[in-house]
Amino acid sequence: MENRLEARIKHFTKHKLLIIDEIGYLPLDLNGSNLLFQLITRRYEKKSTIVTTNLTFSKWGEVFGDNTIANAILYRLLHHSTIHKISGKSYRTKDLFEDKD
């Protein structure tokens, strides 16, 4: 099992750009949090990573079940990063709320 996990981490480490969508949609257990930390650490300062979330950074400890892991992941993600805060109507639900005459 360990070799398979290592192979998967290597797989996601090699790509020039990794997009992780909806961090926080579902909480991670401690094992999942540790694996994500390993992945982010290996990509840190080497490859680009985009993360989307609806949560403030202060809530990440709840998602990862541990404030220390959350802070370590955030440190690596935020160092040398650009944050784009998007507000307004959701693109995914735009058709649901349009006035249709």
In a domain? residue 97? no
Instruction: Specify the CATH number for the domain of residue 61.
Output: 3.40.50.300
In a domain? residue 11? yes
The model's pTM is 0.83
In a domain? residue 88? no
In a domain? residue 94? no
Q: Which domain holds residue 11?
A: 2-78
Q: Which two tokens stand for residue 5?
A: 């996990």
Number of domains in the chain: 1
Alpha carbon distance 22, 94 (integer Å): 18
* Per-residue model confidence as pLDDT tens for the chain (101 residues): 668 989 999 999 999 999 999 999 999 999 999 999 999 999 999 999 999 999 999 999 999 999 999 999 999 999 999 999 988 777 778 777 766 55
In a domain? residue 26? yes
49 by DSSP, 3-state: which? strand
Residues in the chain: 101
Q: Which two tokens stand for residue 59?
A: 């809530």
